Chain A
Amino acid sequence: MSDPIERAREGDPDAFRVLYEGHVGRIYALCLRLAGDPGKAEELVQDTFIRAWEKLPGFRGESAFGTWLFRIAVNVALSERRATGRREARIGPVADPEALPAAGRSADPGVRLDMEDAIAGLPPKARAVFLLYDVEGYQHAEIAEMTGIAEGTSKTQLFRARRLLREALSR
């Protein structure tokens, strides 16, 4: 009886389900913040675990399984966003002011929700770096490895994200 990772790698869906149960909460939280939308987050979570299942035979345990899974989730979310961005660019911008997030909310649903809103308003790359560094606690070298951006870019994006958040939250 080996561990769930080993058994899932050999193609056992029961073992993979055990891994899913153990990690879905953190992957969903990350996807929800990356996507800023619960429906989209569910899709990203599903795609993340499908891709993890496909790539699992190549997982050699150099990193923790959770980190490996995060890396897949970040890639799924960022590539999805690139695809969506391309589609939207073809269609053209929607000139509907109602569709834009409200700037400066009068109602105060609490610090946490303000923070979630402010994060959702960040540009995608800055958002991903902020989430991975300040929320999840990864180092720039790890973020560079997970997202495929340069370490220096990770630092620049974090600097930018923090100042955008400070501005949004101090309004």
Chain B
Amino acid sequence: MTCEQFDQWLDAYLEGGLTPTQQGAMQAHMAECTLCHAHASEMQAVLSAATALPRSIVPPRDLWPDIAARLPARRGVHGSRSVLWSRWVPLAAAAAVLITVTATITYRLSRPAAPGLVLTATAPRAVAGFAADREYVLAAEDLERVLREGRERLAPSTVELLERNLALIDAAIAEARTALEADPANADLRALLWGAHRQKLDLLDRATRLTRS
């Protein structure tokens, strides 16, 4: 085998695409050619480094507001801007949205029970391997701290509504996480989890602003 031939077969060799005979020829060449041996291990290092790269990187800033502002309306079905990014909506309207999300997640997970049955006081631990999940949890905790300090300025009915919705959304987060632990590659479940996190931050953000108004 020539060094040129070795190089031509190297990719298939590293990907396990050669016959046993071809593999043997490659190994025999490496045993006597230090240069090709070095090339092979360097190429193996390139492939390992490629595999080790993070496949998901959180953008340094939230790009959604700019995208939302540029989305052309489609067919007038949802012609009015969504409640989620209007500057202020009453909590009751937000509640409807949250219940929708929770119901969606419950539906996606094929749970027969009504949404929000699994109430948890606070969102439990983050899903292993999902750094963004943890970031959302920390962001929510920050807002919850601010909210606790200002909550006596909110009407009791508002507090009650807020807590009911936070419980619903925490339940949704918990359900999405449980499902993700069983099926970590499921992009739809991840989308639901991030969506629920965002909704929670939106709600907390609006509520904390309400305590300051």
Contacts and interface: CB of A to CB of B under 8 A. Distances in A.
B69 to A, nearest CB: 10
Given A14-B97, A28-B59, A64-B187, A134 B67 contact: no
A50 B67 contact: yes
Given A17-B84, A166-B46, A112 B188 contact: no
A18 B53 contact: no
Given A1-B103, A13-B82, 15 more contacts: A4-B195, A10-B78, A11-B74, A13-B71, A14-B78, A14-B84, A21-B197, A22-B188, A22-B192, A24-B63, A24-B64, A25-B58, A28-B63, A116-B53, A135-B50
A16 B68 CA distance: 9
Interface in B164-198: 187-188, 190-192, 194-195, 197-198
B47 interface: yes
Given A1-B104, A21-B194, A13 B78 contact: yes
B195 A46 contact: no
Given A20-B64, A54-B72, A66-B187, A11 B77 contact: yes
4 smallest CB-CB distances across A and B, nearest first, come from: A22-B191, A25-B56, A21-B194, A11-B74
B168 to A, nearest CB: 15
A54 B68 CA distance: 13
Contacts of B43: 162, 166
A170 interface: yes
A45 B195 contact: no
